[in-house]
Amino acid sequence: MASKDQAEYVDAIVQVRYAETDQMGFAYYANYFVWFEVGRTNFCRARGFTYADLERDTETFIPVIEARCQYKQRVCYDDELLVRTRVKEFHRLMLTFSYELLDRRTGALHAVGETRHVFTGSDGRPKSLPGKYRAYFE
């Protein structure tokens, strides 16, 4: 199946907690991937399903096989962030999400990133995404 570039973003809001910062008050770099996961989860819910639905209904899992983040501007304690998530590419076996992390008040871009996922069965082997769920990503 051909790659599809989709422009529809789904937004989620994250408030940076004190526990997510270092001694200088800046967000620890690994938390950006946690915020991307918040975006992915919200994206799926906005499309009408949850990861738990997919796993229970079809025994299909969506592990991350690649993740990247470009840090543009530091994030600090108590910042309110907008996590914008979209499907960048979708194939029957793979899926790539794209993210923008913005300051909710000013619109300043803090980071951009992507995560690539493969659809697998409970045995961990790649499998085609069942038809019912393809429409959620197309």
Q: Please state the rounded mean pLDDT for residues 99-104.
A: 98
- The model's confidence at residue 7, banded by pLDDT at 50, 70 and 90, is low
What is d(CA 70, CA 6) in angstroms, rounded to the nearest whole number? 21
The candidate with the shortest Cα–Cα distance to 74, out of 32, 19, 12, is 32
Nearest to 96 by CA among 58, 130, 137, 55: 137
- What is the rounded CA–CA span in Å between residue 99 and residue 33? 10
∠ Cα 31 33 36 (to 5°): 115
pLDDT digits (tens, 9 = 90+) for 18-64: 999 999 999 999 999 999 999 999 999 999 999 999 999 999 999 99
Fold type of domain 10-137? Thiol Ester Dehydrase; Chain A (3.10.129)
Whether this prediction's pTM lies above 0.75 is answered by: yes
Phi-psi region of 124 (alpha: psi -120 to 50; beta: other; left: phi over 0): left
